[in-house]
Amino acid sequence: MSVAHPAHHPVQLVLSRGLYGALAGIGGGIVFGILMAAMGMLPMVAMLVGSTNVGVGVVVHLVISAILGAGFGLVAPFTEFWPLLGAGVVYGAVWWVLGGLLLMPVGLGMPVFQVGQMAVMSLVGHLLYGIVMSVVLFGFRRRAGHV
């Protein structure tokens, strides 16, 4: 009778994919957060939880980054670098539309789908997020032997 290696148990695999994704999301969120800080956007992020404090904005942004990264880690089946990177770029673009153009404006009582200079910079940030998150996730998966 053979016993499955604990690292290959389905529950363990799902947990590790989610955890690696969350950590990769934080990595992408840090890079995106630097851009947001330079543009003065972090107080607006803090407004999602009733604050305008930059530190609160950083925490909210990183929590969202981790949640989105965990989701990506769970659903991205790609184990090769280029397909994973491509999926990360698409994921970032999708979250720009969902988060930056729809959910955040709704949460702040602002008009939705407004594309101006800030929205374009937000797109750049979301794409950077997807790129960095994918690269970090690939590294975690490679190190864990999932590649």
User: pLDDT for 122-141, tens place per residue?
Assistant: 999 999 999 999 999 999 99
Tell whether 136 is covered by a domain: yes
71: buried, middle or exposed (CB in 10 Å: 19+, 13-18, 0-12)?
Answer: middle
Could you give the number of structural domains in the chain? 1
In tens digits, the chain (147 residues) has pLDDT values of 444 444 568 898 889 999 999 999 999 999 999 999 999 999 999 999 999 999 999 999 999 999 999 999 999 988 899 999 999 999 999 999 999 999 999 999 999 999 999 999 999 999 999 999 999 999 999 998 876
> Letter for the amino acid at 123?
L
Tokens of 92: 């970032």
Which structural domain, as residue segments, surrounds residue 114?
Answer: 18-145
Q: Is the pTM of this model over 0.85?
A: yes
Tell whether 1 is covered by a domain: no
**CB 33 within 8 Å of CB 61:** yes
Tell whether 8 is covered by a domain: no
